[in-house]
Chains A and B, each alone.
With several copies, the nearest count.
Chain A
Amino acid sequence: MKFWRTPLDIDKLQIPRGELHILKERCKGCGFCVEYCPKGVLELSDEFNSKGYHPPKAVKPEECVNCDLCELLCPDFAIYCVRAEAGEKEVSN
């Protein structure tokens, strides 16, 4: 029993930063990304998309650590994160 990888919580020493992309028209407002972003980067916006859903918006974009969890959980391929060009910072704890 030794096969898995990085657990959900972040325990690396070096944390990258992420650039979020939200494809609002695809979003169906499920809230998975918002709920499970480990850094609380996201919130559902008040705005409607044309299907009548509230896509998320990044309320603390600078906190994004490019963990990709939002991307992985999004059932509608509506959000993704790419590693930001900017430098990396160390974990505080």
Chain B
Amino acid sequence: MATTEIRITGFGGQGVILCGYIIGKAASIFNGQHATLTQSFGPEARGSACSSQVVVSDTRVLYPYVTAPQVLLAMSHDGYMTHKDKVAKDCIYVYEKDLVRLEKHGPKTSAFGVPATRIAEDLGRKIVLNIVMLGFFAAVTDVVPHEALRKAVETSVPSGTEELNLKAFDKGYEYGIELKEKAEVKV
């Protein structure tokens, strides 16, 4: 697609913004696309739901906000519930399996779940859950190439944590590839 809208949702502290940042950076810096990241947050949001949006496009992004995302990356049930219906017809739901209880969606949608928290915890740092999600995202969607995303992860995380984060990314990616190989989960 010429333009893809992506919404990432979760709660404060999960790295929702960084997640969007990495996707945008991957697209615009490492893949020659245009990518605009915006974020919704508010004083209302202290520690509660937050979301970031990326519009990836082959041409300059003029309207910066997401209207009906083709990808919803959900890291919390709250966020998922808030945004699940405001999506494109063919939306791909990419969700944290243990935090989000999937509901019924339109016929053209697809959904891929990953136990990102558990994978992150296995890696010893719950905090990399968002990077696991990203690896998984790289596997189950084709908005931004895997390599660009991986490079963006490497150059966006705090220095000293690259290895851990790349491992998290790879774990998520592997999980996604395996899952895709199995089957698409239709809901």
Contacts and interface: CB of A to CB of B under 8 A. Distances in A.
Interface in B35-80: 47-48, 76-78
Category for how many chain B residues contact A: under 10
Grouping DSSP codes into helix (H, G, I), strand (E, B) and loop, the B interface class, with mixed when no group exceeds half, is loop
**A interface residue count range (under 10 / 10 to 19 / 20 to 34 / 35 or more):** under 10
B36 to A, nearest CB: 30
Interface string A15-55: 00000000000001000000000000000000000111000
B99 interface: yes
A58 B78 CA distance: 27
Interface in B107-154: none
B11 interface: yes
A81 B56 CA distance: 53
Given A51-B78, A52-B77, 8 more contacts: A28-B47, A50-B77, A50-B78, A51-B11, A51-B48, A52-B11, A52-B76, A52-B99
Interface of B: 11, 47-48, 76-78, 99
Interface of A: 28, 50-52
